[in-house]
A and B are shown apart, each in its own frame.
Chain A
Amino acid sequence: MKRWLNPGFGLVFLFVLGMGLAPVFSKDAAAREVGFTVLLAISMATSLNIITGYTGYVSFGHVVFYGLGGYVGMYLIDKWNAPLPLAVLGGGAVAAVLAFLLGKAILRLRGAYFALATIGINEAMRTFVSNFAPFGGPTGIELQFSVYKPYGGAAQALWMTYYAVVGIAAFSVVFSYFLKTSKFGLGLMAIREDEDAAEVVGVVAPSAKTLAYVLSAFLPGMLGVLFFFKNGNVEPGDAFRLHFSIETLVMMMLGGQGTVMGPVIGALGYQRLRGVLLTSDVKIGALPLKDFQLVIAGGLMLLIILFIPAGLVGWLRQRFARLRRYLV
C-alpha cells in the first residue's frame, strides 16, 4: 500500500480533483464548460497512454472507442430510455468488447502497420455507421428534449454529466498510476522496450497487449456517451473524427508519454493554448489570430517533437535524476 504515498501521484491526483471541483463550488457555468473540455481531454490522453505510452503501440484510432461508445449510449437513451449511468456503462462495455475483438486481430501488427490499421478501423467504422440505419445513418441520433426531464431539466443534466466527467478523470489518473506500478504494467513496458525479449522473460505478450487495449478503450467509450448526451446529438463525422485522435496523441506527447503526469499536463496545456488562440483578438495582417490556430498549434507541436520528444515530464526526468521518484 506504499504506492499510495508517492507525493508525485498525490499531487497530480489532488490537482485533477481540485480543478474538477472548483466550478462545482463556484457554481460557474462558463468555468464548468471549460472544465468539461479539459477533463475530457485529460481522460482521453490518459487512457491512450495505456496502449501507446506504456505498451508502445501507436494508435491513431483511439477516437473509434469514443465514437462507438457515444453512439451506443445515445442509442440506449433515445430508443430504450435507459438512464444515463446505464448508458455510460453500456458505451464503455461495447468499446471494451470492440477493443478485445480488434486486439486479437490487429495487435499482431507492429510499428507503423499497427498505426495504419487503427486509421483504417476508424474510417471503416465511420463509413459503416453512416450507413447503419438503427444509428440514424448519416444524420445520426438527436435526443428529444424530454430525455433531460428525469434529471431535473437540461441545466441540471449538464451538471450531472460534469460530475461524471470529474469522476472519470480522477479515476483515470488513479487507474493509470496503479496500472503503471503493477507487475502487469511492468510487463507492458517490457513489451514496449523489446517485445521478443519480454516474451522470453515470461510476459505473455498477446494477452497482455489485448488486455492493455481493452483497458485503454473503456474510458473513451464512457466519455463519448457523456459528451454526446450533453451535446444532444451525435453524427458520424463528429463521433469518428480522426483529427481528435491525433490531438489526443499530441496532448499525451506534450506532457510525456509513458508517465502518469504527462498526459494530464499535456492535455491541460494544449486545451489552454487552444482556448487562448480561439478567443484572442490579435490580428495578423487582415486575418484574426484564430484563423491561424491550426498553424500555431502545428508549429508548436513540431518544435516539441523535434527538440523535446520525451515531453515535459520526460525531459524533467532526464534532466533531474533525483526527482525521478516523484515524477511518476
Chain B
Amino acid sequence: MDAITILSSLLDGLLIGFVYGIAAMGLNLIWGVMRVINLTHGALIALGMFGVYLLFSGLGLNPYLALILVAALGLLAGIAIYYVAIERVINAPHLSTLLATFSVNMIIIGLGTAVFTTTPRDTGFSLGSIRAGPVTLLGTRLVATLITLLVTGLLYAYLYRTRAGKSIRAVSNNRAAAELMGIPSKRILALSFGLGTMLAAIAGGLIATFFSFTILSGSVYELKSFIIGVLGGLGNPLGALLGGLILGVLEGVLPLAMPNTWVPVIEFLLFILILLLKPNGLLGGKQ
C-alpha cells in the first residue's frame, strides 16, 4: 500500500465527510434546541434525494439550482411536521416525541414506497474530475464540499447575526427564560425544526448527485448522523461537521486495512463507546 492510495482514500473520505456532516448538523440542531431526536431525519434525506432527482431528470433543472428549491421545501416540510406531530408532545416524555417523529417517518416512507417503489435511482449527473498531482477528485464531490461549507457559514451567520437566530439560541439555552423575554418560543421551535429538516434535505440532494439511492436509503444516513451527532456532541452543529469528517476519514481509510464489511462494526462500536465515555461528544466538556 503506497502513500498515494492512502492520500486519495483520505481525501475521498474527507469530501464525503462534509456531506455526512451537514446531514448530522440538522439532527444536532433539532436536538440542541428542543431535545427531540428526529426520527424523520432519514425520510427527509430521502425526499431531498428524490427532489433533486425529479427536478433534474424530469424538468432538466441544474441539480444545484434544484437544491435551492429542495432546501426551501425541506424547511416548509419541517415546519409542517412540527405543528402536526411535535407541538402537542414537545413536553411529554422522550418516548412520545421519538414515536411521533417515527410515525411521520412511516407515513413518508410508506407514501414514497407506494409512489416511487424501491427500485434504485441514479441522477447520472457528472462534473468530470479534477487531477491534483497524483490524486483524482470527483467534481460533484468537490462542489458538494463547497456547498456544505457555504451552508455551514450561512447557518452560523444566521444563528449569531440575526434576531431570529439569536432567538433560536436563546430558546435552546433556556426556553422558559426566553419566553419571559418575549420570544415566541413555539414559532422559534417550529423554525428550528424546519432548519434541521432543511439541512437533511440539502444533504440528501447533495448525496443524490454522486450516489444511487432508493426511498429507503435515508435510513443509512440517519444512522450515520446519529454516530456523527454523538461524536461531535449532540446539540453542537459545528461538532457535527467535525464528526462527519472523522466518520468520512474512517470510511475512507479503514477499508485499506480490513474487509469493507467490518467498517460499520467499528463505527457502531465507536458510537457506543463515545456515548458511554464522553456523552457530550469529543468537543464537549464534562457532564
Contacts and interface: CB of A to CB of B under 8 A. Distances in A.
B95 A253 contact: yes
Interface stretch (A31-39, A180-188, A296-304): A296-304
Contacts, number: 119
Contacts of B106: 294-295, 297-298, 301
Nearest to A129: B265
Contact of B268 (A58, A111, A120, A302): A120
Interface residues of A, number: 44
A58 B279 contact: no
A125 to B, nearest CB: 8
A105 to B, nearest CB: 6
B261 A138 contact: yes
Interface in A259-312: 287, 291-299, 301-302, 305-306, 309
A127 B271 contact: no
Interface in B239-278: 259, 261-262, 264-265, 268-269, 271-272, 275-276
Contacts of A138: 261
A174 interface: no
B200 interface: no
Contact of B35 (A112, A128, A249): A112
A305 B108 CA distance: 17
Given A120-B271, A295-B107, A302-B103, A309 B37 contact: no
Contact of A299 (B94, B96, B103): B103
A138 B223 CA distance: 20
A117 B272 contact: yes
B105 interface: yes
A52 interface: yes
A131 interface: yes
A295 B261 contact: no
Nearest to A108: B276
A138 B262 CA distance: 12
A115 B102 CA distance: 13
Contacts of A121: 268, 272
Interface in A94-138: 105-106, 108-109, 111-113, 115-117, 119-121, 123-124, 127-128, 130-131, 138
Interface string A237-260: 000000000100110010001000
Interface in B193-238: 223, 226-227, 230
B73 interface: no
Interface string A55-81: 010101000000000000000000000
B98 interface: yes
B230 A130 contact: no
Given A123-B264, A291-B113, A305-B89, A298 B103 contact: yes
Contacts of A116: 37, 226, 230, 275
User: Chain A at the B interface: mostly helix, strand, loop or mixed?
Assistant: helix
A294 B110 contact: yes
B114 A109 contact: no
A291 B114 contact: yes
Contact of B265 (A58, A106, A127): A127
Given A127-B264, A297-B106, A305-B99, A109 B113 contact: no
B276 A249 contact: no
Given A109-B276, A292-B110, A292-B114, A131 B265 contact: yes
A101 to B, nearest CB: 12
Task: Pick the most buried of B95, B98, B269: most chain A CB atoms within 10 A of its CB.
Answer: B95
Contact of A115 (B37, B100, B104): B37
Contacts of A127: 261, 264-265, 268
Interface string A15-48: 0000000000000000000000000000000000
A58 B103 contact: no
A87 B132 CA distance: 59
A113 B114 contact: no
Given A253-B99, A299-B103, A305-B96, A128 B265 contact: yes
B93 to A, nearest CB: 8
A112 B32 CA distance: 12
A56 B276 CA distance: 19
A13 B94 CA distance: 31
A299 to B, nearest CB: 6
A302 B109 contact: no
A127 B258 CA distance: 14
Interface in B81-98: 84-85, 88-89, 92-96, 98
Most buried by A among B89, B94, B262: B94
Given A298-B107, A302-B104, 4 more contacts: A60-B98, A120-B226, A120-B268, A305-B89
Closest 3 CB pairs of A and B: A294-B110, A298-B106, A124-B268
Interface of B: 31, 35, 37, 84-85, 88-89, 92-96, 98-100, 102-107, 109-111, 113-114, 223, 226-227, 230, 259, 261-262, 264-265, 268-269, 271-272, 275-276, 279
21 contacts: A108-B276, A111-B94, A113-B279, A115-B98, A116-B230, A120-B227, A120-B272, A127-B261, A127-B268, A130-B261, A131-B259, A131-B262, A249-B95, A257-B95, A287-B114, A291-B114, A293-B110, A295-B111, A302-B100, A305-B99, A309-B89
